[in-house]
A and B are shown apart, each in its own frame.
Chain A
Amino acid sequence: MNLRQNESLAARLTRMNLLVSGAVLLIAALAFFSYDLLSFQQILIRNIEAEAQIVGANSISAVMFNDQESATTTLRSLEQSPDVQGAVLTSSDGTVFARLGTLDQGDISAHVLGAHENDRAWPSGTQVVVAHRVMFQGKTVGIVTISARLREIGHRARQYLLIAFLILLFCMAAALAISSTSRRLIAEPIIGLADTALTVSREKDYSVRAEIPADGSEIGVLVDAFNTMLTQIQERDAALGEARAELEARVEERTAELRTANRELEAFSYTVAHDLRGPLDAITGIAFLLAQSWDSTDELKAHVMLNQLTTSTGNMSSLIDNLLNFARASTTPLKLAPVNLSSIARQIAAELAASDPTRKVEFMIKDTPETPADEGLMRIVLDNLLRNSWKYSSHHEHACIEFSAKRDANKLVYFVRDDGAGFDPGRMGQLFEPFHRLHGKSDFPGTGIGLATVQRIIARQGGAIWAEGAVEKGATFYFTLG
């Protein structure tokens, strides 16, 4: 297909070259030869006219003194001229005085000089009839009429035909040679462009480029524009590919998140079921024992059992509260308003201190600037953090719990610090996962859901939370908001 196109375009150029040069040459040769033949004819006619004049001048006395022999002799001198076919010397009244060769009366009467004409030629093709008025002493003596065949014209025309034919041949050869140049200049860049376009459409390969011809012609512009178009298509393809890859990555990420969430939900359901079952078993057992030994048991024993019963239901209630908080942390709509975190912390500290007056805990709560946040959720956050500090410092005789804020990189960082049991920094990653507890249940009671809840709330408000700590060296929880 390429080859055929190639040939067709090049052949068309060649044909055009041949046609144009041939036409130009033909017209030029025609014009030149016509002009030349015409002027050559004029020269030949003038020669004949000159002969007529000589013959006329030599015949003057012969006509005047009625000497036909002399006139005929004079006319016969025209026989030397190969073109002359016939000649007639006519007297001034139109009668033939002397004649030579073939020129009849019809020829003479068809070629008559006007009243004031002295010379005239009647050319027709290669034939010509020339008439000359012979004058002597201001009077017409007679008229010489010569009929001649301009053989030289025909000869020359044939020569010209041959020359024109040879030149035409030569020019055709030259045009063929030139067309190979024009093919290189015009056809080949276009063919290259066509090939590139074919490759692109067939193989969908947008990285190929057509070669730009160096002559800076419109073809170069065309090829350049085509290449630019290919580049743009390539760039668009790349952008499209990137977008798709990004989309896929995001889908994968979302899928992984969903999977994690699902796993968390499963674990959560399992833990909830398991953890709710503990206090319930205790309640059932104590209620059974109480019912069985209602009569035999003394009042004191029953009192203890009832206390245990109350503790179990309390545990269960607090577990359910925590679960509710955890759920609310994710679902409650945010109500942002300026909140004074220090005053909330003080209230919680007061509650904690009141819950166990036997403990010696020093609360250091500093004033912090108001910040836009959801007050209900922030109360859950501070309650969890302070209650954790309270809880994990319970094994120490003296404890100090601190709430404050500091500027770090133009951002307000709040923190809750205690000098309690601390945690193993190596297990930092599990700290905020729901139901993962770094301490045994027997050491410190808890549901394992508090920090997970806190992290969700902070994250929802656009903040971050992290912790520092070491075993028996206390723990510090930092968080930011917005």
Chain B
Amino acid sequence: MLAIPAVVLMMTAQVAREAHAQAPGPSLVDVQAVYLFDFAKFVRWPEADHGALTICVAGPKVYTDTLTRLVKGEQINSRPLAVRAVQTPEDEADCAIVFIENAAKDHTDGLLAATAGKPVLTVSDIPGFLDHGGMIQFLVIDKRVRFSVDLRPAVHSGIGLSSELLKVAVNVSGKDASGGGR
């Protein structure tokens, strides 16, 4: 059986190098940061926006720092990546992904309400996030970071999630809304 660090290690050579540098191993933050980065690769935004793909973080600074380090110099579909911290829903104007950490739990509804109907992928590790209208929620199962997906808000906001992504999701709800599924 593979441990979480192994998952992180296989991501990219760069990530692997960083992971090795951090003893004793990548933390939950690291794994979640990598997942956030990788989600971007399996998401299709409706507008052909050639500007920067911005990942907004509502949470501790360590997430922002980790992500910033991770996406440095990276591109997805020829779009450069950017990381920014958000505090209020008003900050979310140009976000492609919004990550709401447990620490920003209280702002969840506000943040979600601000992005509702807009092409913004919402991710969080707050339990019950999907019930509040979130799209992806991190889970920890058998000490491994996994995630569940609710397609309804994604379909509503015009975001396409790759079947490859759904394939590895622990649970996918609202398949009827997407018109697809297994």
Does B168 lie within 8 Å of A70, measured CB to CB? yes
Which residues in A have their C-beta under 8 angstroms from that of B1? 68
Which residues in B have their C-beta under 8 angstroms from that of A139? 12-13
Interface set, chain B 1-60, CB cutoff 8 A to A:
1-2, 4, 6-7, 9-13, 16, 35, 38, 41-42
Does B10 lie within 8 Å of A63, measured CB to CB? yes
Which residues in B have their C-beta under 8 angstroms from that of A34? none
Which residues in A have their C-beta under 8 angstroms from that of B4? 66
- Interface presence of B165 (CB below 8 A): yes
Does B164 lie within 8 Å of A66, measured CB to CB? no
Contact segment of A35-43, A91-99, A200-208, A326-334 = A91-99
- The distance from the CB of B34 to the nearest CB of chain A, in whole angstroms, is 8
Which residues in A have their C-beta under 8 angstroms from that of B168? 61-62, 64-65, 67, 70
Majority DSSP secondary structure for residues of A touching B:
mixed
Does A70 lie within 8 Å of B9, measured CB to CB? no
Does B164 lie within 8 Å of A61, measured CB to CB? yes
Does B38 lie within 8 Å of A70, measured CB to CB? no
State how many residues of chain B have any CB contact under 8 Å with chain A. Answer: 25
- Interface presence of A47 (CB below 8 A): no
Does B35 lie within 8 Å of A65, measured CB to CB? yes
- Interface presence of A60 (CB below 8 A): yes
Known contacts A65-B147, A65-B168, A66-B2; A97 and B13 CB within 8 A of each other? no
- Interface presence of A140 (CB below 8 A): yes
Known contacts A97-B2, A139-B12, A140-B13; A66 and B162 CB within 8 A of each other? no
* Cα distance, A91 to B13, chains bound together (Å): 11
- The distance from the CB of A58 to the nearest CB of chain B, in whole angstroms, is 8
* Cα distance, A66 to B6, chains bound together (Å): 9
- The distance from the CB of B86 to the nearest CB of chain A, in whole angstroms, is 25
Does A95 lie within 8 Å of B38, measured CB to CB? no
Does B9 lie within 8 Å of A64, measured CB to CB? no
- The distance from the CB of B160 to the nearest CB of chain A, in whole angstroms, is 15
- Interface presence of B61 (CB below 8 A): no
Does A91 lie within 8 Å of B167, measured CB to CB? no
Interface set, chain B 91-110, CB cutoff 8 A to A:
none
- Interface presence of B144 (CB below 8 A): yes
- Interface presence of A349 (CB below 8 A): no
Interface set, chain B 161-179, CB cutoff 8 A to A:
162, 164-165, 167-168
- The distance from the CB of A377 to the nearest CB of chain B, in whole angstroms, is 147
Task: Find the residue from A61, A64, A93 having the highest chain B CB count within 10 A.
Answer: A64
- Name the CB-closest residue of B to A74: B167
Does B38 lie within 8 Å of A64, measured CB to CB? yes
Interface set, chain A 126-155, CB cutoff 8 A to B:
136-137, 139-142
* Cα distance, A139 to B41, chains bound together (Å): 12
Does B9 lie within 8 Å of A93, measured CB to CB? yes
Which residues in B have their C-beta under 8 angstroms from that of A92? 9-10, 12-13, 16
For A94-109 the 0/1 string (1 means CB < 8 A from B) is 0101000000000000
- Interface presence of B62 (CB below 8 A): no
Of the residues B6, B146, B165, contact of A91 by C-beta under 8 Å: B6
Which residues in A have their C-beta under 8 angstroms from that of B38? 64-65
- Interface presence of B76 (CB below 8 A): yes
- Name the CB-closest residue of A to B16: A93
- The distance from the CB of A173 to the nearest CB of chain B, in whole angstroms, is 63
- The distance from the CB of B30 to the nearest CB of chain A, in whole angstroms, is 13
Known contacts A65-B147, A92-B16; A137 and B76 CB within 8 A of each other? yes
Known contacts A61-B164, A97-B2; A142 and B12 CB within 8 A of each other? no
Of the residues B2, B9, B145, contact of A68 by C-beta under 8 Å: B2
Does B165 lie within 8 Å of A141, measured CB to CB? no
- The distance from the CB of A73 to the nearest CB of chain B, in whole angstroms, is 9
Of the residues B7, B12, B16, B165, contact of A66 by C-beta under 8 Å: B7
A residues touching B (Cβ–Cβ < 8 Å)? 58, 60-68, 70, 91-93, 95, 97, 136-137, 139-142
Q: 19 other contacts beyond A65-B7, A70-B168, with CB at 8 A cut-off?
A: A60-B164, A63-B10, A64-B10, A64-B11, A65-B146, A65-B165, A65-B168, A66-B6, A66-B144, A70-B167, A91-B10, A92-B9, A92-B12, A95-B10, A97-B2, A97-B10, A139-B12, A140-B13, A142-B10
What are the 5 tightest A-B residue pairs by CB atom distance, in nearest-first order? A66-B7, A91-B10, A61-B164, A67-B168, A65-B168
Q: List 11 A-B contacts (CB under 8 A).
A: A60-B164, A61-B42, A61-B165, A61-B167, A61-B168, A65-B147, A66-B6, A92-B9, A92-B10, A139-B12, A142-B10
